[in-house]
């Protein structure tokens, strides 16, 4: 059968999917810029305890005598408050970096947990099918028809304050997005022939679900994930603004902005403008990255 | 015989970020009234782009970079966009490959037909509607009045394709470009469609370019055949000559690889390798690397040779005496 | 000789049930009901070892569904499959698994039938690894190399992803994947329909070679009659879920008996018929949701009588090995 | 369609019921409203009396059953704070919220679709890039922050528009609405725009994506091949196709507009349901919270149902029966 | 002139029914539409209202002479029947979350003639006029049988007050029309439109943008800017509200107080030296200057200067961190301890920020303090009865107290007196401070009708309470109103915003 053996030439584009993905991603200057910005923001947040002059959560280090200093003034304690201080005398630079830590942690933690739960539920629904699926998906639909802000608002009101509670509220209000995405993609994938092939090859259902279908749902999941993390950060800020978010003494960006809100008309713009800019920078860069990911990962948009 | 269409040296290139795709690279076509030209070739060889180029429907990043198209003696290259709109769907019509996708899913059939008439003629809705209904009847659609009120998804694939054909025929065009109109359909439906198309061209004298990769279909309806490979026409001639006595090795291989009753159970002739990468075409003859007749000169691009019967683009053509095993 | 596979009165129905709301609405008089598609309707046939059986029919007539039932992807709604004379359902769990692996399927669309996120070597070796047919890195690697060579692929490419291959190559990967579990029976569902003409021949030849080398049996589903004629030994013609005619390939093409088969063969374009006049069968394929009574073909059949409208004909033997289901076989003649 | 409506109503009942349980018991856990509402001057005996008056001394499940009994007849109890029937309070605040939400929706569609269309038709033009960048900003900026900035700019500094509250209302058909008076319109501009911002971005992106997808479809090419003018191709063939998803999504977003109005209403002191809710939550006014959520669930189910029916009318391919929710 | 006054109100009234909910905003609105037998001026001093005079005629009976010739908004005449029926209705309003029974309890009204009534009590009761000043008089024709809803829709909102009810939309606005037949001086503005604007910045923005003419509750942060704004005039006045700290003095081990390293320790707050140290650690200047931006007054007792029953001898405790440390060491806490301050974040002016500043100050004298603030909805029920036993949950809390009656007996009996639910004492004593000596003096004061004697007793109780640090007062709130230039407002200690007190310059 030698003459069947055609060692055909290889198509020109012989990069791995990841390399191709990377190449396409790095094509957009905006997206790369956003990614770099995001990277800087994350690194700054992570390094906050080492690069800030003050630990804004340690009451012994915060002095109310420093309250509302404009940017560049020197604090009682000696260092310069480059971004000014807030109404309790917190150095805003320190507070923003620490706040970023909380905001990012809340956003990412709720995103990741919601992703896990949502993925599991969505996949499970697609996997079992039938009544159970209908039941699950109706539930998901109903939750989706409810605005996340309202769900989170109610929950935080019920649960009380605290990082854990707000994460819980965000997870509850967001898991359904993931579940729906995963299930929708999984349903499409389930009807593809490679799944039938896997069934035919006697592979277990679980293996088909997790090793074959799930990896193919990742694209949309990542996109939904970035958007949801960004919206979780915003939502947390909104809840804090409404007074049901995080505690005053361990401010996230949202709390900082909300606190600064009171000073807006008094000319002390910095108390809420700087945290606002930090939030904006973070959320916009996440969204830009996510947006571009969507373009790259969406085969329909490909040329 | 009046010449309806004359295309010379048509080049349509796509300027993508990965490089220039020479989708159509020097195609010549000449077509007379009532004639059917079969355009065959493998996927990606530029058949559809040729069709779209004639319709001036190439979108960015593609551009017609060279060549002349004259239609009924009129040079189309300087035509304004509005003049094109007059021409399209009126004198030159096109039928697409996938009947599921060509009709707008959210508009009723009558809307889609009437607008095609009213775009070119000032007629009342009722007149236009009547004409639409009659044309539907012509292409063999039962109960055309009801069908007019239907949405595309309420029709079967074959039915939709017949609607598309009816739309192409609405304004009795001089030329129809049928881009693989039956590929997605069953044999029985395919023959219905070919039947209607044949009937209509015969009745109206409309010329037709029938694009297909199925030689058997083309053999059944075309007067002439052009074989495309990698953006160029590699062989052209009257159907009988091309099918019975192909000169280009690609045509030869293609014909050889079609199973038939006589070859039952035997090994089929096969063209090895795969379709060329349009971004990086081999130097010289694009078919060279897959060609079992390749010789040294093939490193240079072959020009069009003319025999008594047909034209072909090959340095080392299949001798006239060799016929395809049938 | 026992047939390798016997299909006995197999039916496959797809039913869309009404939920609670639907039932309430139905009780309130809404015009809704359960919808059932008889995709495969009481089909019986048997396939001998080493044989290639062609299955031909129009779109939606149930070819793929029958293929999937045979390959074990869908369980049949009624009827039995016998492998080597034993009903598959009666087998022990162990044997049943083996039986399922014995029948593998090759799919139509080479791009969707391969998991885009897996490397070729994983696609090919996953099932054998899971079924403990190979173990160890080096054994697996050799196994994959061997299979790739068998289907005409360079093992150098085994660490690539499917999208880096051409259509024909992808179809080879699919074939290698099926061969990896050492099947005896392949269901090829339109396995070459999506390929370019020039590539089709390569794959058809590959099927022929594999049949010879490995002694495979095929159920070859296709709507391309010339391909069917080329490689099959016997052909079954299917219309709206039922087999209407089944006979050795030569007989079908030379002396078709069923009006549908005849019409079908008339429509096939052939290279040697130039400027032919196409005379199509009238009518459309009826909806499988609401099939015609009696003989399913009667609305399109030029010979239909009242009998055809009322009673469904049975498959009856015309000649040895040639069966057709039509009330008017005698009168129609040859 | 009947099946669809029946199914939806069944689901709505289940959800409303579950919701009532969760919220009713949940609000109870937060705290004791009397501790906050009672005058500090009151002594312990009076506090007990107040608890008794509000029925809060009974076991919680008894309270719940009494509530459910009442709710079945449309009586959701009286607000602890206002002493008025909860339902009446909510309904009287509803027009303001709906008016705001619909105006925002209108702005989103009226601004978003044309911009999205432009960005989709000329994806490479600098203006389109600007539009898209703007839309990212639009959904990245927290609503409350933008609201504040808008007040600062338009009301305080430029003094073009009033900062707070709802203006004069007039009667249109049988509605009391501020959309028919000059004063009313000037009051609704800022909050509606603030609320719409997110949805404008959404409409832009949906439209753009839709246009980009539709433009690549065969049916658009076919329409051009028929010799139709670009105008007709875009306005009829492309628009009709993208309007379907856009209208559907925007319709469904009405729910989230109402949800987000909580924030906007707080900032602009817009006297709607959202503000009522947040005040009720902060003051543990359980009857209002529970009634609000039950009504809003019903409302959402209703909106979604209408949108789906609309969808099925717009898109001939959709058959409602088959859809769940 | 048909001029309209638009006021942005920080705290919205919940009802027009003057007997539905005993809270400041409702009482303030009621004062427009209804009259009281006894009126209070801006410093909460009593003045004749619908009663022209009052006096105890024996230990248990007070006689009130009613004003003649007063008519209700519907034209009917005011007489003793209205008072009698008012006192019947006030404690019995259904669904009332905070009843006016507080003021009518133990009192029997007797109609003597059309314009004389007697009010009897079971024990001598010096606070009679104070209580009576809180009960709005409604008409026995329209009001006494009316429901709360009838008042809200205006049909029963008929009083004798300077303004007539025009319209009320809960959560949105209230409109009043001047009562031109008012028996006393008629107010300046013919129409008053109250807009309810809860959010501080929104309120200020509304004033700046001209949406409203005047706002109440100017945020401290905006005062400086508004002061510099020529188009705006401010009026400020100290309020009767003291912000103070309650310390757990009843548990042996307090839940939110642990040793320096988190270990369980006996409750240090029961040691008066510790309480003194805490008071000394509070920099009241810093709170007033930095947190309140100057709009507060340092507190040395529970009511500011000028109020009845305060002690002239008490001065705010001086900030003395060294002294505080020394006292702590002396009490056996040289390394301090760990403590959590709990406080509301939406109740008092800058409440959360004050709690935070206190946390900083305590941390600086060695008490590791964390701060937890929460919405009042959660805070008050936990602070009053959040522990598993139904006792106050927290160890150290920040609270405020406004003396509604305008005299020192109010905070003393509720905050300092031993908690006694039977007799209704110490109802807000969330620290459960208990000192029988003080209790006795307070009780005596509450039974002393003679003002001079009562003043002395209250001052004495106040001094003792401060001495034993029953509570730590920090500051008195100063309330600020802002109006467009040309208007002026007479600030009130009871924090009410009254349209009658607005005048054009
Ligand atoms: N928008 C585009 N951008 C880049 N290259 C393109 C574009 N459209 C078509 N091409 C290239 O042009 C070449 C010719 O395409 P064309 O559609 O004409 O092929 P075809 O012969 O009609 O094939 P098929 O039989 O598959 O329809 C292909 O190689 C294709 O990759
Ligand atoms: N999973 C399914 N659920 C419901 N109906 C189905 C399902 N699979 C197939 N059918 C229906 O069964 C009938 C037969 O389908 P099948 O795919 O077997 O046809 P086919 O002959 O293979 O057609 P084609 O040539 O188009 O592939 C069709 O009407 C189809 O709609
Ligand atoms: Mg094509
Ligand atoms: Mg099939």
List the domain range (segments joined by +) for residue A46. Answer: 28-59+79-301
Q: Is D137 on the interface with C (CB under 8 A)?
A: no
CA distance linking residue A21 with residue C224, whole number of Å: 39
CA distance linking residue B145 with residue B137, whole number of Å: 9
Whole-number pLDDT of residue B1: 60
| pLDDT tens column, D106-129 | 999 999 999 999 998 888 889 988
Q: Could C126 and A201 be called an inter-chain contact, meaning their C-beta atoms sit closer than 8 Å?
A: yes
**A59: nearest CB among E222, E286, E359:** E359
Q: Could you tell me if residue D242 is inside a domain?
A: yes
What are A257-260's contacts with CB under 8 Å, separation 24+? A257/D142, A257/D145, A258/D144, A259/A86, A259/A87, A260/A86
E–C contact: 3+ Cβ pairs < 8 A: no
Q: Could C164 and A6 be called an inter-chain contact, meaning their C-beta atoms sit closer than 8 Å?
A: no
Whole-number pLDDT of residue D210: 86
Our CA-based measurement puts residue C143 at a distance from the nearest CA of chain D, in whole angstroms, of 44
Q: Looking at residues D141-147, what average pLDDT do you find?
A: 82
| pLDDT tens column, B50-65 | 999 998 888 878 888 9
Neighbors of chain E with 3 or more C-beta pairs under 8 Å: A, D
Whole-number pLDDT of residue B43: 84
Beta carbons within 8 Å of E1's beta carbon, 6+ residues apart? E190
Whole-number pLDDT of residue D25: 83
Q: Which ligand is nearest to the CA of B184?
A: 2
CA distance linking residue B115 with residue C81, whole number of Å: 55
Q: Could E372 and A60 be called an inter-chain contact, meaning their C-beta atoms sit closer than 8 Å?
A: no
Q: Could you tell me if residue A66 is inside a domain?
A: no
B182 lines ligand 1 (CB under 6 A): no
Q: Tell me which chain D residues have a C-beta less than 8 angstroms from the C-beta of B110.
A: none
Q: Tell me which chain C residues have a C-beta less than 8 angstroms from the C-beta of A17.
A: 116-117, 161, 163
CA distance linking residue B180 with residue B197, whole number of Å: 13
- Band of pLDDT at residue E80, cut at 50, 70 and 90: very high
**A8: nearest CB among B17, B274, B280:** B274
Domain count, chain A: 1
CA distance linking residue D151 with residue A265, whole number of Å: 10
Q: Could you tell me if residue A6 is inside a domain?
A: no
| pLDDT tens column, E245-281 | 999 999 999 999 999 988 999 999 999 999 999 999 9
Give the burial class of A206: count Cβ atoms within 10 A of its Cβ; 0-12 exposed, 13-18 middle, 19 or more buried: exposed
Whole-number pLDDT of residue D319: 62
According to DSSP, residue A64 is labeled G
Choose, out of B185, B220, B222, B271, the residue to mutate when testing the contact with C (most C CBs < 10 Å). Answer: B220
**Under DSSP, is residue C239 helix (H, G, I), strand (E, B) or coil?**
strand
Length of chain B: 326
What domains lie within chain C, and their CATH numbers?
5-332 (3.40.50.300)
Our CA-based measurement puts residue C279 at a distance from the nearest CA of chain B, in whole angstroms, of 7
Q: Could you tell me if residue D67 is inside a domain?
A: no
Whole-number pLDDT of residue A1: 39
- Is the pLDDT assigned to residue E456 strictly greater than 90? yes
Q: Could you tell me if residue A2 is inside a domain?
A: no
Low-confidence ranges of chain A (pLDDT < 50): 1-14, 300-303
- Is the pLDDT assigned to residue D316 strictly greater than 70? yes
Which secondary structure element, helix H or strand E, spans residue C71, and what is its range?
A: helix C63-71
Q: Could you tell me if residue D25 is inside a domain?
A: no
Nearest to residue C62, comparing CAs of C315, C240, C271? C240
Q: How far away, in angstroms, is C33 Cα from ligand 2 center?
A: 20
Which secondary structure element, helix H or strand E, spans residue A186, and what is its range?
A: helix A163-190
Name residues contacting ligand 2 (CB within 6 A). Answer: C 14, 37, 39, 57, 59-65, 223, 288
List the domain range (segments joined by +) for residue D229. Answer: 86-282
| pLDDT tens column, D1-38 | 677 777 777 877 887 888 788 888 887 777 788 888 88
Q: Tell me which chain D residues have a C-beta less than 8 angstroms from the C-beta of E382.
A: 31
Nearest CA to ligand 1 atom 13: B23
Interface of D with B in 195-234 (CB under 8 A): 217-219, 221-230, 232
**E205: nearest CB among D96, D151, D281:** D151
Instruction: Please state which architecture CATH assigns to domain B3-91+171-312.
Output: 3-Layer(aba) Sandwich (3.40)
The ipTM assigned to this model is 0.81
Nearest CA in chain D to A138: D325
B–C contact: 3+ Cβ pairs < 8 A: yes
E–D contact: 3+ Cβ pairs < 8 A: yes
CA torsion, ordered E23, E24, E25, E29, to nearest 10 deg: 100
Nearest atom (ligand 1) to Cα of B213? 25
Nearest to residue E200, comparing CAs of C201, D267, A69? D267
- Is the pLDDT assigned to residue D286 strictly greater than 90? no
Whole-number pLDDT of residue D169: 77
Whole-number pLDDT of residue A14: 47
Whole-number pLDDT of residue C234: 93
Q: Looking at residues D61-80, what average pLDDT do you find?
A: 87
Length of chain A: 303
Residue D201 belongs to domain with CATH number: 1.10.3720.10
Cα E496–E502–E503 angle (5° rounding)?
A: 160
Q: What percent of chain B lies above the pLDDT cut of 90?
A: 19
- Band of pLDDT at residue E81, cut at 50, 70 and 90: very high
CA distance linking residue A238 with residue D266, whole number of Å: 11
Cα C196–C216–A5 angle (5° rounding)?
A: 45
Provide the 10 A C-beta neighbour count for residue C24: 17
Q: Could you tell me if residue A272 is inside a domain?
A: yes
Instruction: Please give the model's pTM, rounded to 2 decimal places.
Output: 0.83
Q: Could D236 and B103 be called an inter-chain contact, meaning their C-beta atoms sit closer than 8 Å?
A: no
Q: Is C30 on the interface with D (CB under 8 A)?
A: yes
| pLDDT tens column, B302-317 | 888 888 888 998 888 8
Q: Could you tell me if residue D20 is inside a domain?
A: no
CA distance linking residue E387 with residue A98, whole number of Å: 33
The answer to whether the beta carbons of residues C272 and C256 sit under 8 Å apart is: no
Q: Could you tell me if residue A152 is inside a domain?
A: yes
Q: How far away, in angstroms, is B40 Cα from ligand 1 center?
A: 14
Q: Could you tell me if residue D74 is inside a domain?
A: no
Whole-number pLDDT of residue A15: 54
The answer to whether the beta carbons of residues E305 and E240 sit under 8 Å apart is: no
Q: Could D45 and E197 be called an inter-chain contact, meaning their C-beta atoms sit closer than 8 Å?
A: no
Q: Looking at residues C222-231, what average pLDDT do you find?
A: 87
Q: Looking at residues E412-426, what average pLDDT do you find?
A: 91
B23 lines ligand 1 (CB under 6 A): yes
- Band of pLDDT at residue E2, cut at 50, 70 and 90: low
Residues of A with CB under 8 A from a CB of E: 59-60, 62-65, 67, 87-89, 160-161, 243-244, 247-249, 261-268
Nearest atom (ligand 2) to Cα of C241? 14
B140 lines ligand 1 (CB under 6 A): no
The answer to whether the beta carbons of residues E193 and E210 sit under 8 Å apart is: no
Q: How far away, in angstroms, is C42 Cα from ligand 4 center?
A: 18
HEC profile for D128-196?
Answer: HHHHHHHHHHHHHCCHHHHHHHHHHHHHHHCCCCCCCCCCCCEEECCEEEHHHCHHHHHHHHHHHHHHH
Our CA-based measurement puts residue D8 at a distance from the nearest CA of chain B, in whole angstroms, of 26
Interface of B with C in 167-226 (CB under 8 A): 185-192, 194-195, 198, 213-217, 219-221, 223
Nearest CA to ligand 1 atom 6: B14
**A137: nearest CB among D255, D282, D324:** D324
- Is the pLDDT assigned to residue E1 strictly greater than 50? no
Q: Tell me which chain C residues have a C-beta less than 8 angstroms from the C-beta of D3.
A: 18, 21-22, 24-25, 30, 32
Most confident listed range (A281-295, B213-227, E296-310): E296-310
Q: Which ligand is nearest to the CA of B189?
A: 2
- Band of pLDDT at residue D242, cut at 50, 70 and 90: confident
Q: Could you tell me if residue A198 is inside a domain?
A: yes
- Band of pLDDT at residue C275, cut at 50, 70 and 90: low
Q: How far away, in angstroms, is B43 Cα from ligand 1 center?
A: 8
The answer to whether the beta carbons of residues D205 and D223 sit under 8 Å apart is: no
Q: Looking at residues E454-468, what average pLDDT do you find?
A: 94
Q: How far away, in angstroms, is B78 Cα from ligand 1 center?
A: 25
**C213: nearest CB among A1, A11, A193:** A1
Provide the 10 A C-beta neighbour count for residue A244: 26
β-partners of residue E191 are E4, E177
Query: Token pair 């839709």 is at which residue?
Result: D210
Q: Could you tell me if residue A35 is inside a domain?
A: yes
Our CA-based measurement puts residue C68 at a distance from the nearest CA of chain A, in whole angstroms, of 9
């Amino acid at each position: 059968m030698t003459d069947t053996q055609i060692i055909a030439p290889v198509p020109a584009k012989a990069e791995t999917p990841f390399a191709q993905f990377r190449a396409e991603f790095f094509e957009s200057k905006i997206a790369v810029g956003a990614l770099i910005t995001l990277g800087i923001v994350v690194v700054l947040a992570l390094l906050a305890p080492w690069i800030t002059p003050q630990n804004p959560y340690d009451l012994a280090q915060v002095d109310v005598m420093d309250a509302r200093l404009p940017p560049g003034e020197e604090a009682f304690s000696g260092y310069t408050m480059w971004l000014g201080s807030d109404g309790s005398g917190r150095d805003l630079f320190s507070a923003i970096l620490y706040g970023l830590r909380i905001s990012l942690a809340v956003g990412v933690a709720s995103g990741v947990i919601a992703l896990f739960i949502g993925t599991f539920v969505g996949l499970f629904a697609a996997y079992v099918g039938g009544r159970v699926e209908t039941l699950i998906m109706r539930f998901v639909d109903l939750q989706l028809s409810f605005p996340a802000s309202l769900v989170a608002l109610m929950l935080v009101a019920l649960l009380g304050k605290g990082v854990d509670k707000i994460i819980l509220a965000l997870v509850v209000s967001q898991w359904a997005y993931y579940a729906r995405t995963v299930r929708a993609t999984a349903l499409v994938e389930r009807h593809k022939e490679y799944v039938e092939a896997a069934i035919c090859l006697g592979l277990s259902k679980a293996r088909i679900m997790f090793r074959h279908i799930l990896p193919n749902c990742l694209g949309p999941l990542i996109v939904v994930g970035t958007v949801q993390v960004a919206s979780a950060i915003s939502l947390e800020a909104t809840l804090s603004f409404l007074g049901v978010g995080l505690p005053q003494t361990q401010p996230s960006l949202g709390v900082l902005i909300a606190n600064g809100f009171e000073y807006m008309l008094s000319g002390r713009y910095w108390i809420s403008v700087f945290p606002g800019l930090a939030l904006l920078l973070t959320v916009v860069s996440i969204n830009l990255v996510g947006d571009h990911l969507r373009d790259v990962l969406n085969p329909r948009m490909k040329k | 015989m009046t010449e309806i269409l004359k295309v010379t040296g048509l080049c349509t290139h796509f300027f993508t970020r990965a490089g220039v795709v020479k989708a159509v690279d020097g195609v010549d076509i000449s077509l007379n009234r009532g004639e059917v030209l079969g355009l065959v070739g493998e996927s990606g060889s530029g058949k559809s782009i040729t069709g779209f180029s004639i319709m001036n429907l190439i979108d960015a990043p593609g551009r017609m970079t060279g060549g002349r198209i004259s239609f009924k003696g009129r040079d189309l290259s300087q035509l304004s966009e509005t003049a094109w709109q007059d021409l399209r769907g009126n004198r030159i019509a096109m039928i697409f490959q996938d009947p599921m996708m060509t009709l707008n899913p959210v508009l009723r059939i009558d809307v889609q037909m009437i607008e095609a008439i009213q775009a070119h003629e000032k007629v009342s809705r009722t007149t236009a509607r009547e004409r639409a209904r009659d044309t539907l009847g012509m292409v063999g659609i039962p109960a055309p009045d009801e069908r007019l009120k239907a949405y595309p998804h309420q029709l079967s694939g074959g039915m939709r394709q017949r609607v598309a054909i009816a739309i192409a025929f609405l304004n009795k065009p001089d030329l129809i470009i049928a881009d693989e109109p039956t590929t997605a359909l069953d044999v029985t439906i395919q023959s219905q469609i070919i039947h209607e198309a044949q009937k209509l061209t015969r009745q109206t004298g409309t010329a037709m370019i029938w694009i297909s990769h199925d030689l058997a279909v083309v053999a059944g309806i075309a007067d002439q055949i052009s074989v495309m490979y990698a953006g160029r026409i590699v062989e052209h001639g009257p159907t009988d000559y091309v099918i019975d006595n192909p000169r280009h090795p690609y045509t030869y291989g293609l014909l050889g690889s079609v199973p038939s009753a006589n070859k039952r159970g035997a090994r089929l002739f096969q063209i090895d390798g795969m379709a060329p990468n349009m971004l990086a075409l081999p130097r010289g003859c694009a078919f060279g690397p897959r060609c079992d007749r390749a010789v040294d000169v093939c490193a240079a691009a072959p020009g069009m040779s003319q025999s008594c019967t047909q034209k072909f683009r090959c340095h080392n053509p299949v001798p006239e005496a060799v016929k395809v095993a049938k | 000789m026992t047939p390798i596979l016997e299909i006995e009165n197999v039916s496959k129905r797809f039913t869309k049930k009404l939920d609670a709301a639907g039932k309430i609405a139905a009780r309130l008089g809404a015009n809704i009901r359960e919808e059932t598609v008889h995709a495969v309707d009481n089909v019986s046939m048997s396939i001998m070892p080493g044989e290639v059986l062609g299955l031909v029919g129009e779109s939606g007539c149930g070819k793929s569904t029958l293929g999937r039932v045979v390959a074990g992807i869908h369980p049949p709604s009624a009827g039995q499959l016998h492998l080597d004379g034993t009903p598959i359902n009666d087998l022990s769990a162990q044997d049943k698994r083996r039986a399922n692996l014995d029948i593998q399927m090759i799919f139509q669309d080479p791009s969707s039938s391969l998991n885009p996120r897996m490397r070729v070597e994983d696609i090919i070796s996953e099932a054998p690894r899971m079924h403990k047919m190979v173990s160890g890195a080096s054994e697996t690697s050799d196994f994959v190399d061997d299979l790739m060579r068998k289907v005409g692929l360079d093992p150098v490419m085994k660490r690539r992803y499917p999208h880096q291959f051409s259509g024909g190559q992808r179809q080879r990967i699919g074939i290698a994947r099926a061969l990896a579990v050492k099947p005896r029976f392949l269901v090829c569902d339109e396995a070459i329909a999506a390929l370019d003409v020039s590539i089709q021949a390569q794959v058809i030849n590959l099927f022929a070679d594999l049949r010879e080398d490995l002694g495979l049996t095929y159920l070859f589903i296709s709507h391309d009659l010339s391909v069917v004629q080329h490689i099959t030994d016997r052909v079954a013609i299917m219309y709206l879920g039922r087999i209407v005619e089944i006979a050795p390939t030569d007989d079908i093409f030379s002396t078709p008996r069923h009006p549908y088969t005849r019409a079908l063969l008339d429509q096939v374009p052939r290279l040697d018929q130039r400027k032919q006049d196409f005379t199509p069968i009238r009518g459309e394929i009826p909806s499988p949701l609401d099939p015609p009574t009696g003989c399913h073909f009667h609305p399109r059949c030029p010979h239909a009588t009242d009998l055809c409208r009322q009673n469904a004909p049975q498959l009856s033997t015309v000649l040895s090995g040639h069966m057709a289901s039509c009330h008017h076989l005698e009168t129609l003649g040859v | 369609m009947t099946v669809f409506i029946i199914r939806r109503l069944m689901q709505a009942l289940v959800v409303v019921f579950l919701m009532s349980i969760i919220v009713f018991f949940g609000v109870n856990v937060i705290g004791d409203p009397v501790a906050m509402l009672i005058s500090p001057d009151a002594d312990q005996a009076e506090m007990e009396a107040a608890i008794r008056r509000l029925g809060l001394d009974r076991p919680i499940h008894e309270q719940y059953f009494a509530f459910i009994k009442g709710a079945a007849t449309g009586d959701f109890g009286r607000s602890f704070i206002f002493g008025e029937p909860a339902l009446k309070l909510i309904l009287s605040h509803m027009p303001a919220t709906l008016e705001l939400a619909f105006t925002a929706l209108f702005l989103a569609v009226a601004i978003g679709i044309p911009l999205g269309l432009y960005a989709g038709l000329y994806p490479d033009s600098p203006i389109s890039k600007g539009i898209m960048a703007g839309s990212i900003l639009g959904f990245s900026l927290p609503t409350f922050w933008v609201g504040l900035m808008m007040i600062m700019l338009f009301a305080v500094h430029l003094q073009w528009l009033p900062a707070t509250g709802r203006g004069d209302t007039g009667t249109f058909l049988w509605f009391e609405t501020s959309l028919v008076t000059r004063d009313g319109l000037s009051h609704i501009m800022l909050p509606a725009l603030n609320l719409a911002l997110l949805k404008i971005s959404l409409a832009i992106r949906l439209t753009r994506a839709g246009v980009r997808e539709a433009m690549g479809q065969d049916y658009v090419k076919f329409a051009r091949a028929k010799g139709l003018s670009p105008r007709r191709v875009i306005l009829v063939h492309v628009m009709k196709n993208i309007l379907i998803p856009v209208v559907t999504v925007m319709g469904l977003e009405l729910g989230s507009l109402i949800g987000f109005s909580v924030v906007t209403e707080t900032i602009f002191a817009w006297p709607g349901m959202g503000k009522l809710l947040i005040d009720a939550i902060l003051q543990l006014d359980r009857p209002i919270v529970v009634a609000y959520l039950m009504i809003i669930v019903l409302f959402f189910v209703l909106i979604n149902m209408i949108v789906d029916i609309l969808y099925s009318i717009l898109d001939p391919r959709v058959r409602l029966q088959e859809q769940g929710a | 002139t048909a001029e309209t006054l638009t006021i942005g109100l920080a705290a919205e009234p919940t009802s027009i029914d003057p007997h539905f909910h005993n809270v400041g905003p409702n009482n303030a609105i009621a004062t427009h539409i209804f009259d009281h037998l006894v009126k209070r001026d801006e410093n909460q001093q009593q003045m004749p209202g619908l009663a022209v005079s009052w006096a105890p005629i024996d230990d248990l009976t007070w006689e009130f002479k009613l004003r003649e010739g007063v008519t209700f908004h519907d034209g009917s005449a005011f007489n003793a029947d209205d008072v009698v029926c008012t006192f019947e209705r006030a404690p019995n309003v259904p669904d009332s979350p905070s009843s006016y029974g507080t003021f009518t309890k133990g009192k029997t009204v007797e109609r003597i003639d059309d314009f004389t009534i007697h009010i009897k009590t079971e024990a001598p009761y010096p606070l009679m006029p104070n209580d009576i000043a809180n009960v709005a008089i409604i008409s026995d024709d329209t009001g006494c049988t009316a429901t709360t809803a009838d008042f809200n829709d205006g049909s029963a909102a008929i009083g004798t007050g300077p303004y007539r009810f025009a319209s009320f939309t809960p959560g949105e606005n209230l409109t009043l029309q001047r009562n031109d037949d008012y028996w006393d001086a008629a107010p300046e503005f013919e129409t008053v439109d109250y807009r309810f604007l809860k959010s501080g910045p929104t309120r200020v923005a509304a004033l700046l943008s001209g949406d409203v003419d005047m706002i109440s509750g100017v945020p401290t942060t905006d005062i400086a800017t508004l002061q510099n704004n020529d188009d705006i005039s401010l009026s400020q006045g100290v309020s009767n509200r003291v912000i103070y700290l309650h310390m757990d003095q009843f548990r042996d081990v307090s839940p939110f107080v642990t040793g320096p390293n988190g270990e369980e320790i006996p409750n240090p707050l029961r040691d008066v030296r510790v309480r003194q140290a805490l008071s000394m650690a509070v920099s009241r200047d810093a709170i007033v200057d930095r947190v309140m931006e100057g709009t507060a007054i340092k507190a040395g007792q529970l009511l500011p200067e000028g109020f009845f029953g305060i002690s002239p001898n008490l001065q705010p405790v001086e900030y003395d961190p060294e002294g505080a440390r020394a006292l702590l060491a002396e009490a056996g806490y040289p390394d301090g301890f760990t403590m959590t301050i709990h406080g509301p974040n939406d109740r008092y002016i800058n409440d959360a920020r004050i709690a935070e500043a206190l946390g900083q100050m305590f941390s600086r004298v060695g008490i590791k303090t964390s701060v937890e603030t929460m919405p009042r909805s959660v805070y008050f029920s936990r602070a009053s009865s959040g522990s598993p036993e139904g006792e106050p949950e927290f160890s150290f809390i920040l609270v405020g107290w406004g003396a509604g009656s305008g005299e020192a007996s109010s905070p003393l009996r509720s905050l300092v007196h031993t908690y006694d639910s039977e007799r209704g004492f110490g109802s807000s004593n969330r620290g459960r401070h208990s000192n029988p000596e003080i209790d006795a003096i307070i009780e005596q004061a509450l039974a002393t009708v003679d003002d001079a004697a009562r003043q002395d007793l209250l001052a004495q109780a106040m001094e003792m309470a401060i001495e034993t640090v029953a509570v730590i007062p920090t500051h008195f709130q100063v309330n600020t109103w802002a109006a467009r230039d040309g208007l002026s407002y007479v600030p009130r200690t009871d924090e009410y915003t009254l349209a009658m007190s607005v005048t054009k310059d």
